[in-house]
């Protein structure tokens, strides 16, 4: 259903990485397309798991709703 979006995000990720970071990226995780209803949220977490061989090097968040369409939606990215 979102194959076109996956292709687009992969292309943008490659371009941003090439121009700014030059990370050795060998894989891309499955996209998560999430819809939050009032009162819902995604729990606090880290986008890296030290016990695994692979390390997440880049994270991308695309907000598909206009800011005037909701209250809240705070996002914190450290690193």
Q: What is the pLDDT along the chain (79 residues), one digit of tens a residue?
A: 778 888 998 899 999 999 999 998 888 888 888 888 888 888 887 776 666 666 778 888 888 888 887 777 777 777 6
Is the alpha carbon torsion for 19, 25, 27, 32 positive or negative?
negative
Q: Is the model's pTM score more than 0.75?
A: no
Would you state the pLDDT for residue 22? 95
Q: How far apart are CA 36 and CA 29, in angstroms?
A: 21
Q: Which two tokens stand for residue 17?
A: 């990485």
Alpha helices for 33-78 (secondary structure H): none
Q: Which two tokens stand for residue 20?
A: 């700014």
Q: How far is CA 61 from CA 6, 23, 70, 74, in A?
A: 13, 19, 16, 12
């Amino acid at each position: 259903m979102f194959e076109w979006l996956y292709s687009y995000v992969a292309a943008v990720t490659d371009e941003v990485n090439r121009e700014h970071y030059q990370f050795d990226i060998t894989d891309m995780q499955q996209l998560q397309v999430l819809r939050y209803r009032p009162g819902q949220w995604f729990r606090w977490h880290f986008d890296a798991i030290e016990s695994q061989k692979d390390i997440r090097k880049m994270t991308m968040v695309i907000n598909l709703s206009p800011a005037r369409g909701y209250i809240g939606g705070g996002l914190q990215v450290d690193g």
